[in-house]
Structure formats: structure tokens, C-alpha cells
Amino acid sequence: MMKKKPTLESFLLSLDVVPMRNPKLVEYPATAGRVRLEIPVEYKFFWTKRRGKTAQQFELDALGKEVYDDIDNARTFENLIDRFAERHALTFFESRALLAPLFQIMTQRGIIAATLTQ
């Protein structure tokens, strides 16, 4: 099955997404320029009384930390791209190409959630 070709409408809609930090997330300082994030989780196994691990941990490098620190639950993806592009003297599309995969990974791992503006 072929993938659908992205449309201009879906592109514009993706720019209006507001990344929201996971409120259960706990931040710990790590080595220079890094941050360690911990998300409490609970795995219950129905076939045993044992429980699984109690937290997932992630460590962000300097770039990930910079982007994570910019997420304030108010700025849209487009605003974050513009800020990053301005700080690093990149074009909008270069900045988007760097940030989109990072946001996708952060969303998949539960560090942030994507919400649409009204």
C-alpha cells in the first residue's frame, strides 16, 4: 500500500501543534549540558503478582535539552522552529528538518504530547 502524499493542509496543521510537557515527568541534572528525564510507569502483569519497572528514564543531549527547555506548553511547533532557526542561523526548513524527528521521538516516548490550538 502506498503512503498518502502530504498535503499543504496537513503541513499547516502540523505547525499549529502545541507540544505539552508530560506533567508526571521528573527532571534530574546529568553531565554537562545534558538532562535526565524520568517518567513513572507501572506495569501490572495479570498472570503474576509481580510488578514491572517503576520508571522509564531518558537522557537528552545538549540539543535535546535546548529544545526541551523551549517547550513551555504555550508555543506552537512553528514558534519553536522559528526560535531555533534564529538562534542557530538556519532557515525555517532546515530547522524544521532537525526538530521534526526530535519531536516525533519525544512524543513516542511520552516526554511530550501534541495538542492542537483552538
Confidence check: pLDDT of 20 > 80: yes
Determine the pLDDT at residue 82. Answer: 94
Angle between helices 77-88 and 8-15 (to 10 degrees): 80
pTM: 0.78
Domain map of the chain by residue range? Answer: 14-113
pLDDT digits (tens, 9 = 90+) for 72-97: 999 999 999 999 999 999 999 999 99
* Residue 27 φ/ψ, nearest 5 degrees: -100, 140
CA distance 101 to 9: 20
Q: Mean of the pLDDT values across residues 57-65?
A: 91
Q: How high is the pLDDT of residue 97?
A: 92
Supply the angle between the helices 92-108 and 77-88 in degrees, to the nearest 10. 130
Q: Which fold has domain 14-113?
A: Outer Surface Protein A; domain 3 (3.90.930)
